[in-house]
């Protein structure tokens, strides 16, 4: 069965999945489930028996998480480390007998022996990076930031095409390092640049790049991408209408 699915959609995963929290593997299973709670990507759920009750405690008094009648919420506790309201157990419906661990609370998640980031990869999604000879020009507030005839186009299932431009074809003297980072399971850890215009004004975090991209996106190394939603873009001399939504 291929997407789009009716949510929630549940599939068995053939991978060994481990979750590290507090220096302990609280989950180590070959029976994980991929669950699509929405259309964008799946997350891992586990059978209740795959997460020992010794790591679960009733929510602390400071927790204000609201739950449904068919859910039980627990704090995740290993030794002195506690993550409030980090585990949800489902007691009714299609998800009955499954538990969900908040991805962000763990020190690490592994599929087999490979660490994964942000969320599991979608088995129905593909990411391709293709070399192109299109002429791409980028401006912000009338200032040219990039001009290239050798972009790399990243095609990701379900998302708009993103254009990656070699740094040497950009006005890098206008770039300022940002402390912002984000993670993508397909591309890796993204760093960001802001742009300091000749006027002195700052356009914050309008550029991202990957210092060490994941293998399937290795061709974007040495390149930057601009938020098409925030800059003006010309492709082969034709100005492109700005997208209205912020989808990476």
Q: What is the pLDDT of residues 229-241, one digit of tens each?
A: 999 999 999 999 9
pLDDT at 68: 73
Please check whether the two domains, 9-116 and 127-240, share a CATH topology: yes
Task: Give the span between the Cα atoms of 67 and 88, in whole angstroms.
Answer: 9
User: Is it the case that residue 6 has pLDDT exceeding 80?
Assistant: no
> In the chain, where are the structural domains located?
9-116, 127-240
User: Is it the case that residue 242 has pLDDT exceeding 90?
Assistant: no
Task: Give the span between the Cα atoms of 239 and 160, in whole angstroms.
Answer: 17
Residue 110: name the closest of 196, 8, 21, 223 by CA.
Answer: 21
Mean pLDDT of 160-183: 97
Task: Give the span between the Cα atoms of 16 and 236, in whole angstroms.
Answer: 47
Compute the mean pLDDT over every residue in the chain, rounded to the nearest whole number.
93
Classify residue 107 by its DSSP letter.
Answer: S
Ranges 53-57, 64-68, 172-176, 188-192: which has the least confidence: 64-68
At 245, is the pLDDT very low, low, confident or very high (cuts 50, 70, 90)?
low
At 63, is the pLDDT very low, low, confident or very high (cuts 50, 70, 90)?
low
pLDDT at 244: 72
As a dihedral over the C-alpha atoms of residue 124, residue 151, residue 207, residue 234, rounded to 10 degrees, the angle is -110
Residue-wise pLDDT for 8-60, tens only, equals 899 999 999 999 999 999 999 999 999 999 888 999 999 999 999 999 999 87
User: Is residue 44 classed exposed, middle or buried when 0-12, 13-18 and 19+ CB atoms within 10 A define those classes?
Assistant: buried
User: Is it the case that residue 215 has pLDDT exceeding 70?
Assistant: yes
Residue-wise pLDDT for 102-135, tens only, equals 999 999 999 999 999 899 999 999 999 999 999 9
- For the 9-116 domain, the top CATH level (class) is mainly beta
Classify residue 244 by its DSSP letter.
Answer: S
User: Is it the case that residue 213 has pLDDT exceeding 70?
Assistant: yes
Residue 43: name the closest of 156, 159, 126, 121 by CA.
Answer: 121
pLDDT at 17: 98
Q: Which fold has domain 127-240?
A: 2.170.150
145 Cβ partners below 8 Å, 6+ apart? 138, 139, 170, 171, 174, 195, 226, 231
Task: Give the span between the Cα atoms of 129 and 37, in whole angstroms.
Answer: 28
């Amino acid at each position: 069965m291929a997407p789009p699915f009716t949510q929630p959609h549940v599939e068995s995963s053939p991978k060994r999945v481990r979750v590290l929290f507090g220096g302990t593997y609280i989950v180590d299973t070959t029976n994980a489930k991929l669950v699509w709670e929405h259309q964008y990507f799946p997350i891992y759920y586990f059978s209740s028996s795959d997460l020992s009750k010794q790591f679960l405690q009733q929510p602390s008094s400071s927790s204000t998480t609201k739950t449904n009648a068919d859910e039980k919420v627990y704090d995740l506790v290993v030794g002195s480390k506690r993550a409030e309201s980090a585990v949800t157990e489902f007691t009714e419906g299609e998800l009955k007998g499954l538990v969900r661990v908040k991805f962000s609370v763990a020190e690490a998640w592994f599929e087999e022996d490979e660490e994964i980031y942000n969320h599991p990869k979608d088995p129905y999604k593909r990411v391709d990076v293709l070399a192109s000879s299109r002429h791409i020009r980028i401006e912000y507030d009338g200032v040219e930031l990039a001009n290239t005839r050798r972009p790399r186009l990243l095609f990701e299932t379900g998302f708009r095409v993103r254009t990656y431009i070699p740094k040497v074809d950009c006005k890098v003297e206008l770039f300022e390092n940002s402390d912002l980072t984000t993670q993508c399971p397909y591309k890796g850890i993204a760093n960001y640049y802001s742009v300091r215009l000749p006027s002195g004004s700052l356009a914050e975090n309008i550029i991202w790049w990957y210092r060490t991209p994941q293998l399937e996106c290795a061709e974007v190394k040495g390149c930057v991408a601009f938020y098409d939603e925030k800059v003006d873009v010309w492709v082969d001399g034709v100005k492109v209408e700005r997208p209205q939504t912020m989808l990476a």
